[in-house]
Amino acid sequence: MSKLITEGRYAGMIAKAGNRSGAGGAALIPGMVITIGVLSMLHQVPLGRSFYVTKIMWFNPGVLATLDFGTLANDGVTPVPVFPTQTAFPGLEGGLSEEELVGAEFMLNPLAAPNGWDGNLYVVASIALITISVEVAEKA
């Protein structure tokens, strides 16, 4: 679901829910991502656009875990953390609000490795089965 943001910091941008769903972010349909215990894609940067993350929410049904949100280096495998490591407590939900996420614009950076990155939003989770939902504001 998308809507035009009409006021505030992101006025004129399009607010979208995460565009990945399923295990590890495998499918290109709206919804939540269920981690697979390693790298999982949360939001894919649209061609010619960039985005800001405005909200991240998660639920951990398992044991104590850590979540690292960020992107990948141009090599396609090396995680590049963008936000501080988060602790996901068992049986509880958690999240990051807009105030905690401000200032990080995700975009394709075509510079050669190690300086470039692919611009998509990923999470590296220490365990599987954590449900994550993101909200972003896309910039045309």
pLDDT tens readout for residues 69-100: 999 887 778 898 999 999 999 999 999 998 88
57: which residues sit within 8 A by CB, 6+ positions away? 93, 94, 95, 132, 133, 134
Q: Report which residue type is found at 90.
A: P
> Vertex 13, ends 11 and 18: CA angle to 5°?
130
Output the six-digit token pair for 122. Answer: 């990923």
Q: Which pLDDT band, with edges at 50, 70 and 90, does 18 fall under?
A: low
* 38/60: higher pLDDT: 60
Q: pTM for the full model? A: 0.82
Q: Report which residue type is found at 32.
A: M
Q: CATH number of the domain that 73 lies in?
A: 2.60.120
Domain assignment of residue 108, given as a range: 2-139
- Identify which of 125, 134, 123 has the alpha carbon closest to the alpha carbon of residue 60: 125
| Number of domains into which the chain is organized | 1
* pLDDT > 70? residue 112: no
